[in-house]
């Protein structure tokens, strides 16, 4: 980790801000109430961060967490800042709706065209618990073209727009169970994407043509009900490699299976060949712990550094692990920490 780093830690009960200096962690502040499920921020203005709280809205700080202001009301489930113009912010909600602000969150407009997707696809927009609404779980703005937007829906599949939200299409072909979690683009191949889901991990070189399972060498093979994958990070190609590195947080089955005594049996997996093969990382991490690693995030300036945040929903506590070698080895960060659900990092 860098000599000076600011860590925003979202939990099931609020948000904490920590400063990291030469490896020493110090909590600076705590704020907000409720489950902070998602965070993002402006890389051009460190200290400006957005936090989404379930059943409440989006809060913004412009002074590194000293003060927060609610800038959006609603059940916020996903956030994204446009890397091409960081005044532009998107928020996805439950039920499935998408809103955009062009002024840093001061005003918002719904992208109503998303609702024009044919009913045959919208019938899949549902949730397993009351009130059974689906939601926008992840928003991806293509790093090379702000016109290209991708949404992961939980449940509901993958939808995209190639004209900044004017029109939309469902691009979920090849994914049989449409409980999607996250999506990322291959940094060196404009048409190649990766997605995680409740039943498998997928890659596509053309999402309109469909997705392919790439989880056969994950711990539970290609048996979809067991290969639960959630947050993941795509790292640039390492020296001597011919494809990108992926680090994925997964579990043995979805949360409905975690009633068993062993609970989540979480794993951190790494691929050095663009998701063709996988290996489980155990160096410094607990072996298949009952807690889930809900948050996995890369360092803002160091491509080899990552943080993984764990959550024990029963006790309300969490654990935090750091790596500086692309996930080969990890070190536990001394806390204590609450039950972690989201992370955002910036240079301090």
Interacting residues of 60 by C-beta distance below 8 A, sequence separation 6+: 48, 49, 50, 51, 68, 69, 71, 104, 105
Instruction: Express each pLDDT in 7-58 by its tens digit.
Output: 999 999 999 999 999 889 999 999 999 999 999 999 999 999 999 999 999 9
Instruction: Express each pLDDT in 86-117 by its tens digit.
Output: 999 999 999 999 999 999 999 999 999 999 99
Taking the C-alpha atoms of residue 341 and residue 52, their distance in angstroms, rounded to an integer, is 11
Average pLDDT, rounded, for the chain: 93
In this prediction, residues 284-310 reach a mean pLDDT of 94
| pLDDT value at 338 more than 70 | yes
Question: CA Rg, the chain, in Å?
Answer: 19
Per-residue confidence band for 305, with pLDDT thresholds at 50, 70 and 90: very high
Given a contact cutoff of 8 angstroms between Cβ atoms, the answer to whether 335 and 315 are in contact is: no
CATH for the 4-347 domain, from 2.130.10.10, 3.90.550.10, 1.10.8.10, 2.60.40.1180: 2.130.10.10
- 308 or 236, greater pLDDT: 308
| pLDDT value at 260 more than 70 | yes
| pLDDT value at 151 more than 90 | yes
Return phi, psi of residue 211, to 5°: -115, 155
- 340 or 3, greater pLDDT: 340
Q: Cα 233–328–237 angle (5° rounding)?
A: 50
Q: What is the pLDDT of residue 1?
A: 47
Taking Cα atoms as reference points, which of 187, 159, 161 lies closest to residue 173? 159
Per-residue confidence band for 225, with pLDDT thresholds at 50, 70 and 90: low
- What ranges do the domains of the chain cover? 4-347
In this prediction, residues 281-310 reach a mean pLDDT of 94
In this prediction, residues 225-238 reach a mean pLDDT of 88
Per-residue confidence band for 220, with pLDDT thresholds at 50, 70 and 90: confident
User: How far, CA to CA in Å, does 16 sit from each of 96, 110, 261, 309?
Assistant: 28, 30, 30, 13
Query: Could you tell me how many residues make up the chain?
Result: 348
Flag the least confident range among 89-98, 119-128, 233-242, 271-280: 233-242
Q: What is the pLDDT of residue 23?
A: 85
Given a contact cutoff of 8 angstroms between Cβ atoms, the answer to whether 226 and 193 are in contact is: no
Q: What is the pLDDT of residue 2?
A: 47
Q: Is 162 left (phi over 0), alpha (psi -120 to 50) or beta?
A: alpha
Q: What is the pLDDT of residue 224?
A: 56
Strands (E) in 299-339, as ranges, are 306-312, 317-323, 331-332, 337-338
The most distant pair of C-alpha atoms in the chain lies apart, rounded to whole Å, by 54
In this prediction, residues 260-278 reach a mean pLDDT of 94
Taking the C-alpha atoms of residue 18 and residue 329, their distance in angstroms, rounded to an integer, is 22
Q: What is the pLDDT of residue 128?
A: 81
- Taken in order 101, 84, 297, 228, is the CA torsion positive or negative? positive
Taking Cα atoms as reference points, which of 173, 81, 90, 183 lies closest to residue 124? 173
- 4 or 105, greater pLDDT: 105
Query: Exposed (0-12), middle (13-18) or buried (19+): which is 322, by Cβ within 10 Å?
Result: buried
Instruction: Express each pLDDT in 170-206 by its tens digit.
Output: 999 999 899 999 999 999 899 999 999 999 999 999 9
DSSP 195-245: EEETTEEEEESSGGG--EE--TTSTTTT-TTTEEEEEEEEEPPPTT-SS-E
Q: What is the pLDDT of residue 3?
A: 56
Instruction: Express each pLDDT in 131-144 by its tens digit.
Output: 889 999 999 999 99
């Amino acid at each position: 980790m860098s000599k000076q780093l600011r860590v925003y830690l979202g939990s099931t009960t609020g948000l904490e801000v920590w400063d990291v200096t030469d490896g020493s962690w110090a909590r600076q502040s705590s704020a907000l109430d409720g489950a902070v499920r998602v965070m993002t921020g402006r890389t051009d203005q460190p200290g400006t961060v957005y936090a989404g709280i379930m059943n409440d809205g989006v809060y913004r700080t412009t002074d590194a967490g000293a003060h927060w202001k609610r800038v959006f009301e609603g059940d916020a489930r996903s956030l994204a800042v446009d890397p091409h113009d960081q005044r532009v912010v998107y928020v996805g909600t439950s039920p499935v709706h998408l809103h955009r602000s062009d002024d840093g969150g001061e005003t918002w407009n719904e992208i109503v065209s998303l609702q024009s997707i044919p009913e045959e696809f919208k019938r899949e927009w549902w949730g397993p618990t009351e009130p059974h609404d689906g939601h926008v779980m992840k928003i991806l703005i293509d790093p090379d073209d702000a016109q290209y937007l991708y949404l992961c829906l939980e449940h509901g599949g993958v939808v995209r727009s190639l004209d900044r939200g004017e029109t939309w299409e469902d691009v979920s072909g090849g994914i049989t169970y449409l409980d999607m979690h996250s999506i990322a683009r291959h940094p060196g191949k404009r048409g190649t994407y990766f997605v995680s889901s409740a039943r498998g991990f997928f890659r596509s070189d053309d999402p309109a043509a469909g997705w392919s399972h790439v989880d056969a060498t994950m711990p539970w093979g290609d048996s979809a009900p067991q290969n639960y994958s959630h947050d993941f990070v795509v790292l640039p190609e390492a020296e001597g490699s011919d494809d990108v590195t992926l680090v994925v947080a997964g579990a043995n089955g979805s949360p409905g299976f975690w009633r068993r005594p062993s609970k989540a049996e979480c794993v951190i997996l790494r691929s050095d060949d663009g998701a063709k093969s996988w290996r489980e990382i155990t160096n410094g991490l607990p072996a298949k712990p009952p807690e889930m690693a809900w948050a996995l995030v890369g360092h803002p300036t160091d491509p080899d550094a990552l943080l993984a945040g764990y959550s024990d929903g029963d006790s309300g506590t969490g654990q935090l692990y750091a790596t500086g070698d692309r996930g080969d080895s990890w070190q536990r960060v001394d806390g204590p920490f609450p039950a972690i659900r989201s992370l955002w990092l910036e240079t301090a």
